Amino acid sequence: MDYPRPIRTDIDWSALSFGFMPTRSHIAFHWKDGAWDKGELRTDPHISMSIAATCLHYGQACFEGMKAFRCKDGKVRVFRPWENIKRMNRTGHQLLHPEIPEEMYLEAIHRVVLDNIDYVPPCESGGSMYIRPLFIGTGPQIGVSPATEYDFLIMVMPVGAYYKEGLKGVPALVIEDFDRAAPKGMGQFKVAGNYGASLMPAKLAKKAGFPIPLFLDPREHKYIDEFGTSNFLAITKDGKYVTSDSPSILPSVTNMSLMQVARDLGITVEKRPIVAEEELPTFAEVDACGTAVVITPISSVTIHGKVIEYGHECGPVSQKLYDRLTGIQRGELEDTHGWLYTI
């Protein structure tokens, strides 16, 4: 497929990390008087809003994250955008935002990726384009109430392959002094405030030598909820895929996809509450999963001072799941579930 702009030659694709990089444009839509405008591509990466915008004061802010890949055949494809659209509308509904029609959302992704198509890394680099939609209340309010105006923005940027030398395990720490979400709170929604709540525990965990915090359920602190920015999954010694079922975790598109891949491979999938202290020592493999890295193997989990080891290498079942999912994303394996949207 010929896109209007060839791949850029002024970027060292092998040196990319998961970090912010300005690109040509973002797309911006505005909602006012009950209707969305037609949206426009903007080159200025700064946005302007009232000092009394509700996203600044009252937390009317949510976001999403998905990726586009330059596949082997040269086409650029976005992985399961429909799931992110649904999740953002669920979050928006909870924050009293207006609905974003699916067609408008998909068109927005299409327009902004196409305008920045030269920033989608080459297939062989292992990199991808990160797509970050942001949905904020921008109308002014001083009493605590929802805004009367909203902005829906999407920025895009190239990001690197996390693991150039293969998947390597990292140690996780069970957080004891903080919860990332409340029982019956906002844990299942991708609201900005959840990430504010996770900054301090993540910082303290990192300082103690653990790059990944693991949160327990906020009601009893007995069940595994999720990692700071990814879901929890484990492979049992008899080869089952186990993942947490909890009302206070974000429903991960990656986890959902890995569960389907596991079923396709004949692996039994169990989505259920996981009793942390009792079950962690029984697992053969433990991983964090999410859009940024797909699978991060967990080398150990430290819970109440006890260290449970899983090894530094990615486990064989996790590796198989990773290879299958990334193969579909990059167009190397058949997209039997219709997960890819072609730009």
Ligand X SMILES: Cc1ncc(COP(=O)(O)O)c(C=O)c1O
Q: Which amino acid is at 180?
A: R
Shortest distance (Å) from residue 231 CB to ligand X? 5
In the complex with ligand X, which residue's Cβ is closer, 115 or 225? 225
287 binds ligand X per the rule CB under 6 A: no
128 binds ligand X per the rule CB under 6 A: no
CA angle 288, 293, 296 (to 5 degrees): 35
CA distances from 191 to 145, 177, 244 (A): 17, 22, 20
193 binds ligand X per the rule CB under 6 A: no
List 60, 116, 125, 254, residue binding ligand X (CB under 6 A): 254
CA angle 303, 316, 323 (to 5 degrees): 110
185 binds ligand X per the rule CB under 6 A: no
Shortest distance (Å) from residue 323 CB to ligand X? 17
296 binds ligand X per the rule CB under 6 A: no
List 65, 185, 247, 273, residue binding ligand X (CB under 6 A): 65
User: Strands 241-244, 224-227: parallel, antiparallel or unpaired by DSSP?
Assistant: unpaired
In the complex with ligand X, which residue's Cβ is closer, 125 or 291? 291
Binding window for ligand X (CB under 6 A); candidates: 162-170, 222-230, 279-287, 309-317? 222-230
In the complex with ligand X, which residue's Cβ is closer, 14 or 18? 18
218 binds ligand X per the rule CB under 6 A: no
Shortest distance (Å) from residue 285 CB to ligand X? 18
Give just the sign of the alpha carbon dihedral 256, 258, 261, 265.
negative
303 binds ligand X per the rule CB under 6 A: no
248 binds ligand X per the rule CB under 6 A: no
Binding window for ligand X (CB under 6 A); candidates: 137-145, 170-178, 217-225, 252-260? 252-260
- Give the footprint of ligand X on this chain (CB under 6 A): 65, 226, 229-231, 250, 252-255, 290-291
